[in-house]
Structure 1
Amino acid sequence: MFSKTAHFGIALGFVLIASFILQYKLNVHTDPQNVYSLAMFPVMAIFMILAIVKVSRNGEPFSIREGLKTGIGVILLSSLMLWVYIIIHASYIETDFVDKLAVVAEQDLRKNSDFTDEKIQESITFLKDNFKFAIFIENVFKSLLSGFFFSLLASLAIKSKIFTNPNNA
């Protein structure tokens, strides 16, 4: 089943990578107020919904479980592709990317008065040492969480036949 919809995940992965490259070219990829990241949520939802609709129309009885598996599979594949690209980007294209993220993280932590200078430096050191894992958590887990909700809503809508045209029934 997923092999029939994997191309949606791969296509979304390339769209996310292209979006990251655009953000890099515009020099907003480390900006915490980045609007481009928010703009990708509807794009992700569209790809997941298209994959779920394709699964629902393959002639077999549709279940919410199938919709969830499809949507989460699409978002998992695409977010893993983006994660791998960001690691490659940080290692070879923009070698000071981690340092730029650390500066942004330090600015965010300084806004919170609960953090001492020692705690801030400890957090920044942890970020630099565990960059790959931190980016994995940031991209993949957040995508999976939002993907779960998008998939659930789309699956419920399809299951309740909201998208069914009464003329075709």
Structure 2
Amino acid sequence: MENQDNSKRKGVMLNYGLLLAFFTIIVSVINYAFGNAYEPHWSINVISLIAMVVAIFLGIKEYKKQNGSFLSLGQGLKVGVGIALISAIISAIYIYVFAKFIEPDFVDNIIEIQRQKFLENPKMAEEMIDTIGENTRQYFFAYTIGSILIFSIFLGFVVSLIVSLAMQKKEDQY
């Protein structure tokens, strides 16, 4: 029974995680096509957040349906965080491919945008700005991918907790 439960859970996590990642990548490609890859409009973040909430909600709902309309808090959390994690891993891979191969000057352009913003602050020394730029160049991928994973897991946990609490229905013990 537990093995069948794991199989259902993994299937739902994979399906909805892939859908969320696909949607996120499509939004990024559209953003890039319109020339907003470096400074996206705030609405892109809102759209991505809504997509995550919808994907986790639908994934937990599907798992509950496959589980005979029963859902424990733990099951819902596993499904929701799993969806967020799968999506985050695929999105991180996409960002790596994008910044390394599709737009190879991406990191340098980010550093230049940072530099221009820092130069507007008269209190920042030129050496400090250069150091920040070098650190960005050196740690961009580790920082970006780590941030994506941590933020997605945290947000996935919060959304999953809320959705699971609202949808939980335990089996009768009798």
TM norm structure 2? 0.82
The 8 Å contact of residues 107 and 140 in structure 2, kept in 1 or not, is answered as yes
Alignment counterpart, residue 93 of structure 2, candidates 71, 76, 84: 84
In the alignment, the residues of structure 1 paired with residue 21 and residue 40 of structure 2 have an alpha-carbon distance, to the nearest angstrom, of 22
State the identity %.
26
**1:123 aligned residue:** 132
Give the 3 Å change call, closer, same or farther, for CA 66–111 of structure 1 in structure 2. Answer: farther
The residue type paired with residue 4 of structure 1 is: G
- Whole-Å separation in 2 of the counterparts to 1:65 and 1:126: 40
Report the CA distance shift for 1:78/1:158 in structure 2 as closer, same or farther (over 3 A): same
Paired residues, number = 161
Which consecutive residues of structure 2, in runs of 5 or more, have no partner in the other structure? Answer: 1-5
Contact kept? 2:77, 2:161, Cα under 8 Å? yes
| Other-structure match for 1:4 | 11
Distance 1:112 1:71, change over 3 A: farther
The partner residue of 2:78 within 61, 69, 77 is 69
1:115 positional shift: 4.4
Tell me the residue number matched to 1:166: none
2:157 matched to which residue of 1? 148
What RMSD over aligned residues (CA atoms) do the two structures have, in Å?
A: 2.2
Scaled by the length of structure 1, the TM-score of the pair is 0.84
